[in-house]
Copies of this chain bind each other. A is one copy, B any other.
């Protein structure tokens, strides 16, 4: 078809370029889909379909499916960081803030099961709580959490003590979240509180 009919095809704010920026659209659709089903049911083709584009178009923006999922993880970590900051803000400093953080961790996992799973299954992605290993990056605003934990142990506690405490707390909330997500433990708020509130003992 060499003739254009009536539609302007110069980029009119919404129909710019070929699609308008795909890549963002793909990430958006991906996030929308991943919250409505198991993580392994998330297919590249379905994301593309929902974005109104051919399956192989995805490969112009991501080298493969894993890369697209990686982008979803990144956005997920940003959201989790926001949830942490909010929890941190609405609690007085000290143990209370620490527990609020733990609750926020579990709450986020339960609210976005597949996304959470995906985030944690990304071995090279950012990490919510930096492990005691050298060079463990740590994600966006998570320094807040680290500071909170370090504060609990006192600023003069040896590094390895603070690090072990960090890992212990992380393991506890992570394990609880996973067990609930996998259906091994019921999602009763009382249970969650009982575990989380003991995380610093």
Contacts of A201 in B (CB 8 A): 201
Contact of A168 among B123, B170, B174, B195 (CB under 8 A): B195
Contacts of A156 in B (CB 8 A): none
**How long is the Cα–Cα vector from A122 to B104 in the complex, in angstroms?**
25
Contacts of A186 in B (CB 8 A): 131, 133
Choose among A40, A171, A184 the residue with the greatest number of B CB atoms under 10 Å from its CB: A171
Give A139 Cβ to nearest chain B Cβ, in Å: 11
Contacts of A191 in B (CB 8 A): 131-132, 164, 167
Write the residues of chain A forming the contact surface with B, with a CB cutoff of 8 angstroms: 40, 120-124, 127, 131-133, 164, 167-168, 170-179, 182-186, 188, 191, 194-195, 198, 201
Shortest 4 CB-CB distances between A and B: which pairs?
Answer: A175-B175, A123-B183, A171-B175, A174-B175
Given contacts A120-B179, A127-B184, A167-B194, 6 further A-B contacts (CB under 8 A): A167-B176, A168-B194, A168-B198, A171-B171, A175-B176, A201-B201
